[in-house]
């Protein structure tokens, strides 16, 4: 059996009882290490599980999945994923590959950023489509997610922005030369994401676009290390979010839509500027 085991968002103890039982009996245990990270390293996991944990990086998962699936029909294999196993499409691809090989699978779910963001007080059913924001370079500044944010905002919905993670990435130069040398890990901050979002609307303004998806005064929520003991949440206008140092990764960013009265009251717990929520578009209270 191939088991996909969600680890949650905090530390080794966030694994479910069912997940821990699977890990302790499995023949091999892999930790997917590139769609997200835990606040602790694999050594802490090994200490808590009492098992060796094999790091499965992007190259292994996407190009050498056969090594993970080997003997999967005869042995139990545990594939550990930070958050929930279905928080990334890569894992659906692994299920399809396992199915082609006649390997049965089971999934053990856990908390992910997609539901844990409710801790800031915004109601989960009032979120629109989630978007990803990647690191820009001097000559590559993709902004296709802007249209999705605009649709969400026009519908009054909030937008969760998942921020870029660069782990075991190669430079263009090393790729061309075929060198297996990797860049230091990088994790996008809320301030970096906010700066890029502001640059997008400045370009839209320069082209005469008056119907912007958001403005510099749009309320956003910055979240750090949700699920850990030192998680942090700040609600602020986008212009202010671009200057905030929220601390060590991982970060997430929410662009707010219309605010329900209870959502607004909850966000007041996390604001730096009193009164900054006053201009937010309200929705009718249904409670």
Per-residue pLDDT of the chain (287 residues; tens, 9 = 90+): 999 999 999 889 999 999 999 999 999 999 987 777 777 778 999 999 999 999 888 778 777 888 999 999 999 999 999 999 988 766 888 899 999 999 999 999 999 999 999 999 999 999 999 999 999 988 899 999 999 999 999 999 999 999 998 876 656 665 566 666 666 778 999 999 999 999 999 999 999 998 999 999 999 999 999 998 899 999 999 999 999 999 999 999 999 999 999 999 999 999 987 777 876 767 654 43
Q: Which residues are annotated as a binding site?
A: 9, 84, 87, 112-113, 163, 251
Query: Residue 171: what pLDDT?
Result: 60
Report the C-alpha gap between 5 and 84 in whole angstroms: 8
Q: pLDDT at position 41, please?
A: 79
In Å, what is the CA distance from 124 to each residue of 116, 121, 152, 254? 9, 9, 13, 12
Give Cβ neighbours of residue 8 (< 8 Å, ≥ 6 apart): 14, 15, 82, 83, 110, 111, 227
pLDDT at 20: 96
Q: What is the pLDDT of residue 69?
A: 92
pLDDT at 61: 78
Cα three-residue angle 14-220-285, rounded to 5 degrees: 90
DSSP 145: H
Please enumerate, by residue number, every residue annotated as part of a binding site for S-adenosyl-L-methionine. 9, 84, 87, 112-113, 163, 251
165: helix, strand or coil:
strand
């Amino acid at each position: 059996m191939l088991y996909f085991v969600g680890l949650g968002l905090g530390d080794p103890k966030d694994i479910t009882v069912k997940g821990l039982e699977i890990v302790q009996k499995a023949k091999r245990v892999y930790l997917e290490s590139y769609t997200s990270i835990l606040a602790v390293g694999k050594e802490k996991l090994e200490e808590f599980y009492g098992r060796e944990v094999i790091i499965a990086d992007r190259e292994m998962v996407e190009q050498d999945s056969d090594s993970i699936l080997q003997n999967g029909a005869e042995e139990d294999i545990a594939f550990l994923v930070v958050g929930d196993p279905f928080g990334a499409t890569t894992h659906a691809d692994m299920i399809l590959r396992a199915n082609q090989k006649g390997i049965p699978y089971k999934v053990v779910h856990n908390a992910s950023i997609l539901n844990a963001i409710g801790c800031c007080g915004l109601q989960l059913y009032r979120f629109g489509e989630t978007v990803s924001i990647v690191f820009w370079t001097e000559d590559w500044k993709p902004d296709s997610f802007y249209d999705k944010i605009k649709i969400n905002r026009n519908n009054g919905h909030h937008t969760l922005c998942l921020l870029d993670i660069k782990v075991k990435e190669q430079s263009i130069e090393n790729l061309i030369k075929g060198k297996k040398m990797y860049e230091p890990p990088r994790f996008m901050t809320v301030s970096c994401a906010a700066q890029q979002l502001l640059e997008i609307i400045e370009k839209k303004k320069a082209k005469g676009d008056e119907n912007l998806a958001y403005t510099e005064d749009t309320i956003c929520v910055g979240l750090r290390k949700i699920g850990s003991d030192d998680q942090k949440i700040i609600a602020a206008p986008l212009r202010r979010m671009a200057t905030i140092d929220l601390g060590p990764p991982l970060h997430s960013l929410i662009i707010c839509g219309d605010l329900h009265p209870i959502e607004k009251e909850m966000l007041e717990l996390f604001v730096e500027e009193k009164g900054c929520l006053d201009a937010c578009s309200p929705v009718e209270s249904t409670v």
